[in-house]
Chain A
Amino acid sequence: MKAKEGELKVITGNSAAAYGAMLCRPDVVASYPITPQTEVVEQLSRFHADGILDAEMVEVEGENSAMNIVAAATLAGGRAFTATSSWGLVYMYDAVLQAAGFRAPVVMANVNRETPGILAVSSGQQDMISTRDAGWIQLIVENSQEILDTIIMAFRLAEDYDIQLPVMVNYDGFYLSYLAEGVRIPTREDVDKYLAILKTQPQRTILNPQKPIGAGSHGILTEFMELRYKHCAALERAKKKLDEIDCEFGEFFGRSYGGQIEEYRTEDADIIILTSGSTVGTTRTVVDAKRTAGLKVGLIKLRMFRPFPREKLIQTITGKKAVGVIDRSVCFGWNCGPIYMELRALSPEIGRIPIMSFIDGLANIDITTPHIERAINDVHKASKGEPYQEVTWIPLEEYL
């Protein structure tokens, strides 16, 4: 059975996020506006005012309340959505940890923006990185269509009986949030069908006034460890689950994104570029140009950052001669890119090949085709055994 093609609309990434959420019929939406996410809240409010979205819209005084409300709504058995960015994400930090600890299946769009410290109303994945150990599932997407589709998939993943974890869907602020492009809007009926499997699963534990139980009580001694173990086990299951959900989405809607990672021309590649988010689109065109010029380069798009898709990456990278990772954020202390650092942890399995970190695009610096070409050239040289620099801050190079 196939879904209808759906109406084609030219909408922004933020609008695509709102459409994705609306189509999943959330019971509760609580969100506080922040640049570059504001349009998501506006669009959802418009849907609600137009009678298209039958949800309880909670006007909150800040992000901390927003997260506590949506987490509680899911614990009461509802479906809940919120969206934030940067300062908003860190302002709800304790609630972000609570939602994960409660195993509250919240879906949140996080529109990537630089975090406090150096004020920057501009793009960067540092906000997402600052919550990587919060216990959430973190997905990163590349374009508006993928934003809409991934939010639908995120509800399937979050609310799955075997998972029961909050899911954060990340997309680049400014580059994707305000970029208008053609997006197919699936019909509500088809989204209902796609999500229907959740209703056939056993009922997860929810608050029930007839039989009062509490959430988030003291957990000391071994019970605490047991819950942490269960949480990690669920994260481990989420990797394969995302692949299945993505595959099923592809069969039904005709669009598929590869699950945990998407591989592009990797099969016969000698060298690999690993990156995520909107940069993937630019990288794809550079890879094509390099291929035409005879260089065997492939691209891996990281879609799942937490849990980290290590098996998939080991499988794809083993046997290659060198890897370059382009990060749009930094890992303080290791002083390299965070995705690079994670990949380095796979060195024993991948083998002793050059792995290089490229930091680029912080605070809206464009990751241009010459930047990516520069990275590919460096990785190519390293693959031939030439000495290489471990970490390169591409836009700063000429000043260093």
Chain B
Amino acid sequence: MAVKKFSSKYEAAWSDADALLLCLDTGSWRTKRPVVNKEKCSYCGLCSIYCPPQCMVTKKDYFDPNLEFCKGCGICARECPRSAIIMMPEGDFTP
């Protein structure tokens, strides 16, 4: 069987914020979104490691959620050792 070129470079279900595996519209599930306080963020990366769909993206000196995929579960806010992330209701943001 001839297979066209694989789209994922990985052998298993590895993924990151830019990866092809994040193709489900999990962002639409969200009722709250994480808001990162850049001043407080020490760029430790714990939020990124704990985020289930790996959607905390590095912005050089802080992390920010990729809202296309963030489900609003709040684990990042819970794990942040500096309380730099708070969960804000979606209704507070204009669409």
Contacts and interface: CB of A to CB of B under 8 A. Distances in A.
A217 B11 contact: no
A230 B11 CA distance: 7
A339 B22 CA distance: 39
Interface in B8-51: 8, 10-16, 19-24, 26, 45, 48-49, 51
A204 B54 contact: no
Given A223-B21, A230-B6, A216 B11 contact: no
Contacts of B94: none
B61 to A, nearest CB: 16
B16 A212 contact: yes
Contacts, number: 74
20 contacts: A101-B12, A101-B13, A102-B12, A205-B12, A212-B16, A213-B15, A213-B16, A214-B14, A214-B16, A214-B53, A217-B13, A217-B22, A217-B53, A218-B21, A218-B22, A219-B21, A222-B7, A223-B7, A227-B12, A227-B13
Given A217-B21, A220-B23, A204 B48 contact: no
B12 A164 contact: yes
A17 B11 CA distance: 29
Given A101-B12, A222-B7, A223-B23, A209 B45 contact: yes
B2 interface: no
Nearest to A214: B54
A101 B15 CA distance: 13
Nearest to B69: A218
Given A209-B49, A213-B14, A230-B6, 15 more contacts: A164-B12, A204-B11, A205-B14, A212-B45, A213-B16, A214-B14, A214-B51, A215-B12, A217-B13, A217-B22, A217-B53, A218-B26, A220-B24, A226-B6, A226-B8
Contacts of A214: 14-16, 51-54
A220 B21 CA distance: 7
Contacts of B15: 213-215, 217
Most chain A CB within a 10 A radius of its CB, from B23, B45, B51: B23
Contacts of B23: 218, 220-221, 223
Contacts of B8: 223, 226-227
Contacts of A204: 11
